[in-house]
Amino acid sequence: MTLRLIKLTVSALCLIALLWWTDATAVLARLQGADTTWVALAVLAVTGATLSMAHRWQIAARAFGIELRYPVALREYYLAQLVNTVLPGGVAGDVTRAVRVRSAADMTRAAQSVMAERLLGQIAMLCLMCAGFCVALWLPGGPDWSLLGWIVVLCLAGAGGVAWALSRAAHATGRFLRHVLGLGRQPKMLAHGALTTFCLIFGFYACARATDTILPPEAWATLIPLVLCAMLIPLSVGGWGWREGAAAALFPIIGAPASAGVATGITYGVVLFVAVLPAAALLLMQNLSEPISTKRKPDLS
């Protein structure tokens, strides 16, 4: 309970500090004048990402011997997103998803299926960001990322090297990573990685347009993924505070005011919440105790 309160406090204090630092009046003006058409497009994009991620999890679960019908996978994914949105830490929903699926196999395989799906999603986003920063640092013109760009590239390269080394090991972690990387090379998984990444990035871009900021094309592979990655910091509720802080710090690099970054981040947070509201309908319309059956043994070779 204390940790949850700390995370909630961190998010609230970050937002208050950002509003004070960037001029709350300017942020409020952008929010009040938000273009509802772009906001609606952002909701549709995030919804598209959810539909794709649920199917990606269905494929990943099958690889671990858990057979899920797509409606069940989609229901569980929506419920997990709702929990992640309203509870501190951003992982409680995934834990719940694994616990509910364990009845089909065992807790280990259920957790591995959830971890594999989340990891594949992050790999897709990080690969795009690495490529984007490499191009941005190599080609003249555009935003001056300078030191920050090199730090991002080096950190991503280091993380990739560590992951590759671990995947070569004979222990359980190595076997899991090899299995995930092999799964990620499947055409369907590559397609879902590209689709979900595009949808999430477009959703943020649409929120920027809604609050009167036009992000340049290069921001799709640099600034936006970097802001979205800030949401992964567990010391928050639904990424609130860290997302807006990252946007406020990065928007001036592309010539936009910090207040525009805060307004975009807040709009995106609202969009994420609106996009998971179908979970409430699922709670009322579907049988949450519907059984999940396994039909095959996992292939962890």
235 Cβ contact partners less than 8 Å away, ≥ 6 residues apart = 6, 7, 10, 242
In one-letter notation, the amino acid at residue 197 is T
pLDDT of residue 91: 73
- Residues 6+ positions from 231 with CB-CB distance below 8 Å: 90, 238, 239, 242, 243
Mean pLDDT, all residues of the chain: 87
Q: What are the tens digits of pLDDT across the range 139-170? A: 877 777 888 889 999 999 999 999 889 888 87
What's the gap between Cα 153 and its chain centre?
A: 19
The answer, yes or no, to whether residue 173 has pLDDT greater than 70, is: yes
Cβ neighbourhood burial of 148 (10 Å; 0-12, 13-18, 19+): middle
More confident residue, 79 or 286: 79
* 18 within 8 A of 262, measured Cβ to Cβ: yes
Stronger pLDDT, 139 or 294, i.e. the higher one: 139
Domain positions in the chain: 2-285
Q: Residue 194's pLDDT is what?
A: 96
The arithmetic mean of pLDDT across residues 231-236, rounded, is 82
Query: Is pLDDT above 50 for 291?
Result: no
Phi, psi dihedral angles at 237 (to 5 degrees): -115, 115
pLDDT of residue 287 exceeding 70, the answer is no
Q: What is the pLDDT of residue 191?
A: 96
Query: Side chain identity at 25, as an amino acid letter?
Result: T
- For 87-97, what is each residue's pLDDT tens digit? 766 677 788 88
Residue 243 pLDDT class (50, 70, 90 cuts): very high
What pLDDT shows up at residue 10? 79
Give long-range contacts, CB 8 A cutoff, 24+ apart: 274-279: 274/43, 275/43, 275/46, 275/47, 275/50, 275/81, 276/50, 276/78, 276/81, 276/82, 276/85, 278/47, 278/78, 279/78, 279/79, 279/81, 279/82
* Structure-token pair, residue 176: 């899991």
pTM for the predicted model, two decimal places: 0.89
Whether 286 shows a pLDDT value over 70: the answer reads no
What phi, psi does 292 have (nearest 5°)? -120, 130
Residue 264: the pLDDT is 97
Provide the residue type at 82 as one letter: L
Per-residue pLDDT at 225: 96
Tokens 């710090």, located at residue: 249
In Å, what is the CA distance from 212 to each residue of 34, 43, 46, 77, 106? 7, 17, 20, 32, 49
Q: What's the sign of the alpha-carbon dihedral 173, 175, 177, 183?
A: negative
